[in-house]
Amino acid sequence: MNKLIISRLPQLIFGLFLCGFGLAFTIEADLGLNSWDVFHDGFSQVINVKIGFAGVITGFILLIGWIPLKQKPFIGTILNILIIGNVIDVVMIFLPSPKLLLIKVFYLVFGTIFFAVGVGVYVGAGLGPGPRDGIMVGISKLGPSIRVTRIAIDFTAFVVGVILGGSYGVGTIIMVLSVGPIVQFSLKKFDKGAIFSL
């Protein structure tokens, strides 16, 4: 492992931690699944598996979609799979479930910001995005901004998920519209130049 990779590992791991930390709050807010989990929920019902396993299958399918986009998995792709889910599980053990709507809204906003910033931080490390973020990066290299690309991808996952029977709420809509702009802002701050110029 060369020095460049080692020097960027802390940023990668910190970004992935932020993703998991933020997602735990959005889940506990209970105001609607994020767009991809709406898809996973609907997909799981169609193929009759648990939502987590549907997410794994989706990840592998999306990796196939990397081929025409000329994306290649790297260490960040693997750590994305290993870290985010485990961080969510650990944080949710200690995170109290809010009863008041005001606290639920705070959880949703706080979690969405942390998650989206985390995406920019870990992708900006240049060590490889996760399966879903790899599609975002690949398409953005073709010209569209990260903001537009992310909103379009999240909206597509949301719509298809709803068609398949996935559950959603007002929080889903908020995340679909806000994650893309925050990710673009975060990437501008943390991009090491190994991905693309924004």
pLDDT in tens, 36-71: 989 999 999 999 988 878 888 998 899 898 988 888
Residue 12 lies in a domain: no
Residue 194 has pLDDT above 60, yes or no: no
For residue 56, what are the domain limits? Answer: 17-190
Average pLDDT over residues 149-156: 95
Residue 11 lies in a domain: no
Residue 5 lies in a domain: no
Residue 122 has pLDDT above 90, yes or no: yes
Average pLDDT over residues 142-169: 94
Residue 3 lies in a domain: no
Residue 180 has pLDDT above 80, yes or no: yes
Residue 8 lies in a domain: no
Residue 151 lies in a domain: yes
Residue 198 lies in a domain: no
Per-residue burial over 34-49, b if 16 or more Cβ lie within 10 Å, else e, is: bbbbbbbbbbbeeeee
The number of distinct structural domains making up the chain is: 1
Cα angle at 60 between 57 and 65, to 5 degrees? 125
Residue 196 has pLDDT above 50, yes or no: no
Residue 29 has pLDDT above 70, yes or no: yes
Residue 197 has pLDDT above 50, yes or no: no
Residue 150 lies in a domain: yes
Helix (H, G, I), strand (E, B) or coil at 150: helix
Residue 193 has pLDDT above 70, yes or no: no
Q: What is the pTM of this model?
A: 0.88
